[in-house]
Amino acid sequence: MIRVTVVYEAQLLRTALEELLRSSGMHVVSSLPRWPHGPAAERSETDVYVADAECLPPSLVPATACLPSSGAGAAGRSVLLALVPGQRPGVLRRAHAAGAAGFVDKDSPKCRLVEAVHRLARGERFIDDTLALGFLQATEMPLTRRELSVLSLAANGAPISEIAATLFLSKGTVRNYMASVIRKVGARNRVDAIRIAQGAGWT
C-alpha cells in the first residue's frame, strides 16, 4: 500500500484530497497545512508527498532535502508530487526548485492525480501534459534569486532599511535591486512589480 502525506493549506481541499487518495487504495499517514520540517519530516513514513506547490517554502535548498530515506523514490527516499496551477509559471518553477518528481495541474481530472502517485511510488517521474507551456514560461522568469529575495521582502511590507538588514546589504544596493526588478518585469513602480510577480507566482 502506498503511504501518502497530503500538504494543503485549505482544510476543505485537503480533506477532499485525503478522501480521494483513500478511496483509491492509498494510506494517508499524515495531513498537514504546510510543508514539514525538522522532527515532523524526520519521523514521517511516507512514500509520496502530495503537496500544493504554493505551500512549498521559497528556499534555495530543495524542500525534498529534509525528507527521510524511507520512501519509494530514488534510493528509497520519499518523493514529492506537486499540485500546480497551470497559469502561474512561477509556482511551477518553485516546485521544480523544491525537487518535485511529479507535477499535476490543479485543473486535471482526479484520475491523473491517482496515476501520478502510482508512477512516483514506482520510482518514475510524472509531468502532466497540460503543463508543457507552463514549463516553457517558467524558464523565462527574468529575476535573479537575489532580486526575488528583495522583492519577496518588499511584498511583505518591509521597508528598504529592513530589507537591507535582513539580506546584509546596503540600502543603496537594495534600491538598485528594486530598480532592476521594476525594469525587468516592465512595471511602473515597486507596487506594480509586486503585483506582476505575485500574479505569475514568482513570490
Higher pLDDT, 113 or 133: 113
- pLDDT of amino acid 110: 92
Task: Assign 76 a pLDDT band (cuts: 50, 70, 90).
Answer: low
pLDDT mean over 77-90: 83
- Sheet of strand 27-32, all strands in order from the earlier edge strand to the far edge: 27-32, 3-7, 48-52, 79-84, 102-105, 126-127
pLDDT mean over 11-28: 95
Whether pLDDT at 35 is above 70:
yes
- pLDDT of amino acid 63: 57
- The beta-strand segments (E) located in the chain are 3-7, 27-32, 48-52, 79-84, 102-105, 126-127
Q: What is the DSSP string of 147-185?
A: HHHHHHHHHTT--HHHHHHHHT--HHHHHHHHHHHHHHH
Whether pLDDT at 12 is above 90:
yes
pLDDT mean over 15-20: 95
Q: Which of 25-29, 72-76, 94-98 has the lowest mean pLDDT?
A: 72-76
Whether pLDDT at 46 is above 60:
yes
Q: Which of 65-74, 113-122, 160-169 has the lowest mean pLDDT?
A: 65-74
